[in-house]
Structures are given as structure tokens and as C-alpha cells.
Amino acid sequence: MILNKIYVVQKYSAYLIPIALIFSVFIADLSVVILSITFLIYQLKIKGKKIFYNKIFIFFLIFWLYLVFNSFLSYDIETSISRSLPYLRFGFLFLALSSLLDDDEFKHNFLKLILFSLLFLCFDAIFQYFIGFNLVGYERHASRVSSFFHEELVMGSFLLKMYPIFLISLLAFKKKNLVSKKIFVIFIIIYSFCIFISGERTGLFNFILFNFILSLIFYKKKYLKYLIIFMLFFPSVFLISNFVNPGTAQRYQNLEMFDQKRLVLFSKTYENHYISAYRIFKSNPIFGSGLKSFRKICLKPRFNPRGCATHPHNIFMHFLSELGLIGTFFYLFSFLYFGIKILRIFFDKFIKKKNNKKSQFEIILIISIFVSLSPFSPSGSFFNNWMSILNFLSIAFYVHFKKDH
């Protein structure tokens, strides 16, 4: 009886996460905490020790122990410890959710909820783009649409992070004949349009990159017409936006990569962030300055205060500056791990001329995680609570489909 109640709390905590990620980071994080605690209690009650022997969780646990150790060497010990200790909850998040996904009823309802939430967000975003304000009255920014995120211009990042799960939802319901082929294509077009109108250049680039890799892996002649539609979609939308909202089109044209004929890294602002991060790294190359310390230590004159921000806006520079070479090893290992998996899939397809044994869903998640870990573009703060939940949602689905395979 008690176990059933704990399991129900787990399920409803998980159901709340995708909705709360849109409307309240606090509620999303609280749901993660409740899910983690109830998951631990449930596993202790049933003596389910095996679930913790998962290789990805062990890797995460070693990384977390390093974060805690590193915090005691930090420039700002109190801030670093307050971030590193609770970070363990994200390990329990992906274990708990991957376990819940084994329940077919939960998986069906969870995917349905995610699909509905994302389509509702897209509807609101399109409404805001054409009308000028969204369903709750938030006005559109000059060149960007934010929907329910309001002043936080992260809608494109959110849609990009959720895209693999969105695709998996559509494919799962298509297999059950709940979504037709035409509806499938329409939903993808709507989703693509919403990423475009978000005005997030990095998000759009990574979205195109993800779909390009996906198309190469799953390409078949019968899909050619859909590939052509996708290739023509963005140029068409770009031309239309010049009439509807010129600010959005101009944002993609103004790349800010040149300054007096000198090539800069994405923009002068970003370049200054990277200079600051590199100087901080050079001052302590082994351990870095400590988790969440960039915002404080970059104020010192020798670290280029012009590049000061809450984080360096690049995942590679973020790890280098705050966690040093040891912390960066964990990041590079993860990036290469998923990169090698993609290379093996290509090798099987184009060299060995055989189908890879991995499931369609697992391949989608491998590509998504690889793209999200890319060191070659600007990024949000890896250790931000909202971003961490999004990252570990994908990991949860990956762990589930990997063991399901």
C-alpha cells in the first residue's frame, strides 16, 4: 500500500516536470527533488540496488564527487558547495525517469503530455508572432518570440532540447496509428517555424545540424520529397518574415562576426567571455576557479572584466575556467563517447552496408546529446537548474531506450 502511494507520487512528480519547465523553474526543480527522494525511498523499500549499477550513473557519480571536491578549492567555496552538493539530484532524476518509462502506461501518458505541452507552446508562439502578444498578454520582442518565457529569451533553446523527445512522441504515436504521416509532417513544420521565430541563431543552427545528421542516417528514397520540403522551408520562412516581422530576418543576417575586417568568435561580446574564461583557466589549469565562480572572479582586472557574465557562454570554456583540466576531461569524454557512437552508425550504414542494431529512438537521442555537447557554438550555462533538467531528461530517455534495446 505504501509502495503504491510512493510510486504514484513519483509518476505525478514526473508528469509535472515538462509543464513546469515552461511556466516555473521553481516548480520544475521542486518536482525533480520530490521525484528523486521518492525514487530513493521506493528503491530502498524494494531493495532495488541493481538500478544504481548503471554505467552512466556511475560516471555521473564520479563527476559529482569531483564537483564536491573541487568546491573546497573554489574561489568562492560557499557558492560552489551550495551548487555541487544538490547536483546529485539530477543523477537520481534520470535514473528515476528511465525506470518509470519501463511502465508502458506511464510512457504513453508522459509522451502524450510532452507532445501536448510543446504544441501548445508552439501555438502560443505563433499567436505572439503574428498578433504581437501571446495568450496571457506578453508582448513580442522586436526580433524574437519568447511566448510564456516572457523576458527570458530561451524558447528556441527549450524547443531544441525537447526536439528529440518531441520526435520520439510523434514516431511512437505514428506506429500506433494515432498520428498520420501528413499530421507528422505538419507538426515538424510548425515546430521548425517556432525555432526560427525564436530568433536564437545557435538554436536554429544546431536544429539544422541535428536534422542533417538524422537525414543522413535514416535517408531512404521514399523520404526524398520530405527532405526537399525541409530544405526549402527555412529559405521560404526567411523571405516571408521580411514582410511579417523584418526584425527576425535581420537578426539572422547580423552575425556580428566581423569587426573592422577582423574575424571574431561569434561576436565581440562572446569573444571577451572566452578571453576571460581562458585567462581564468591559465591561472589555475588543473582545478579551475570552482563551480559558479566565473561571475565573481572575472571582475578582477587581469581576467578581462569586459568579458564578465554569469558564465562564459560556451560549454568547453565553461568547464575549462571553472573545473580545470580534470573537470574538462568528463565533458570531453562524454562528447567523444556520443561522437564515436555516431561514427559507428555511419560506418555500419555506409561502409559495412548494414543496419545498425540500435533502435530508431536511441539513435535520435545519441545525435541530440552529441549536438547539445558541441564545443563549437555559444551555449547556456551547463549547471543552470533549468538547463540541467532539460539535459538529463534526454539522458533519462537514452538510458531507457538503451536498456530496452
DSSP string, 43-87: HHHHT--GGGG-HHHHHHHHHHHHHHHHHTTSTTHHHHHHHHGGG
Q: How far is CA 1 from the centre of its chain?
A: 37
State how far the Cα of 135 lies from the Cα of 123, in Å rounded to an integer: 9
Determine the pLDDT at residue 263.
60
Tell me if 116 sits within 8 A of 165, measured CB to CB. Answer: no
With contact defined as beta carbons under 8 Å apart, do 372 and 161 qualify?
yes
Alpha-carbon separation of residue 233 from 123, 212, 271 (angstroms):
18, 14, 32
Helices 89-100 and 104-131, interaxial angle, to 10°?
110
- The pLDDT assigned to 47 comes to 74
In eight-state DSSP terms, residue 149 is G
**Cα 204 to Cα 196: distance, rounded to the nearest angstrom:** 6
CA–CA gap between residue 58 and residue 62 (Å, rounded): 6
Q: Which residue positions in the chain have pLDDT lower than 50?
A: none
Q: Which of these, 86, 82, 88, 80, lies nearest to 291 by C-alpha position?
A: 80
Q: Give Cα 98 distance to the centre of its chain.
A: 17
8 A C-beta contact, residue 169 and residue 126 = no
Q: How far apart are CA 313 and CA 300, in angstroms?
A: 19
**How many residues belong to the chain?**
405
Q: Which of 242, 146, 250, 244 is nearest to 198 (CA)?
A: 146
Terminal-to-terminal C-alpha distance of the chain: 32
Q: 402: closest CA among 368, 357, 371?
A: 357
Q: How far is CA 20 from the centre of its chain?
A: 16
Q: Please tell me the predicted confidence (pLDDT) of residue 326.
A: 97
Task: Kindly tell me the burial class for residue 353, based on how many C-beta atoms sit within 10 Å of its own C-beta (0-12, 13-18, 19 or more).
Answer: exposed
Beta-carbon count within 10 A of 313 CB: 22
* Distance from C-alpha of 135 to C-alpha of 121, rounded to nearest angstrom: 10
- Grid cell, residue 131, equals 498578433
Q: pTM for the full model?
A: 0.92
Supply the angle between the helices 181-197 and 224-244 in degrees, to the nearest 10: 40
Distant-in-sequence, close-in-space partners of 174: CB < 8 Å, separation ≥ 6: 180, 181, 184
> Quick one: CA dihedral 395, 396, 399, 401, positive or negative?
negative
